[in-house]
Amino acid sequence: MQPLPDAQTLALAKQALAAAEVEKKPRQKDGTFRTADVMLEIEMGLGQGWPEAERGPGGDSLPGTPPGPPDGLRQDSLELISRYLREAVGEAQPPTKKLFPGLLGGPGRPGGSGDAVMEKALETLRRVGDGVMQKHELAFQGMLRKLKIQKEEDLQSVCEVAAYMFSDGVTNWGRVVTLISFGAFVAKHLKSINQEKCISSLAGIITDALVSSKREWLMSQGGWEGFVDFFRVEDLEGSIRNVLMAFAGVAGLGASLAYMIR
């Protein structure tokens, strides 16, 4: 009689089988799975709760930027996301030339984008992100109700949303912009309950969720310049449909949203 496999061997075999099943599923043009397949997997996983967000050394937040030279990608991302969230709640915008002060890439800012690139990125985020919020307000409302955000401490749930969004291993600009758009939706909610002071923290949480876990992917896509180029030529709906179904599933709105965007 052959000896029984140990626990580690069984775990590896299970992972291999799961990966094989995933690869059998048909994919869309952008590499994401079909809406129906993703929706089924999300519904099956909801009973197990949110996936645990990656924690930093302190144990209560996503890992921060490691010490070292100024992080151009993170600083540009934080400026961009902060500005978009502030605009979403109706704050006056400064003159364009002051929008991204000192964000020119250089020796002190490895990975940073040029001023003109970041201005174009903000324009693109306004156009694409605003469209996501308007068209899919129902799904965002359902997510917001589930998260029950009332104070700054509650914003950590946005980390869990980000972890859930990318938990299937798929990353694309549609998912990135949808996360930021949902952040703007949360920012509007914060203003409605007189918690505007929390918007800066929200922008930092979204920035860390993207830059800490998706840095390699962001850099491989050309950073925010790649973001601008992508939405200049790609169809938005095909890119974000998958992740919006994830939002709908978490909010318990799967059937209605599937009908709306199929």
Q: How far apart are CA 130 and CA 132, in angstroms?
A: 5
Quick one: pLDDT at residue 214? 94
Per-residue pLDDT for the chain (262 aa), expressed as one digit of tens each? 545 445 554 444 444 434 444 434 444 444 433 333 433 333 333 334 444 444 444 444 445 544 556 788 999 999 999 999 999 999 855 544 444 444 433 334 444 556 789 999 999 999 999 999 998 899 899 989 989 999 999 999 999 888 888 888 999 999 999 999 999 999 999 999 999 999 999 999 999 999 999 999 999 999 999 999 999 855 556 556 666 666 666 555 544 444 444 4
Does this model's pTM top 0.85?
no
User: What is the number of other CB atoms lying within 10 angstroms of the CB of residue 90?
Assistant: 8
Q: In Å, what is the CA distance from 200 to each residue of 4, 205, 207, 262? A: 54, 9, 11, 36
Would you state the pLDDT for residue 67? Answer: 52
The Cα–Cα gap between 3 and 66 comes to 46
What is the per-residue pLDDT for 109? 46
pLDDT of residue 228: 94
Indicate the domain borders of the chain: 72-89+113-234
Q: Note the pLDDT of residue 93.
A: 58
Cα–Cα distance, 2 to 19 (Å, whole number): 27
The CATH number corresponding to 72-89+113-234 among 3.40.640.10, 3.40.47.10, 2.40.128.120, 1.10.437.10 equals 1.10.437.10
The Cα–Cα gap between 187 and 196 comes to: 7
Residue 238's pLDDT is what? 58
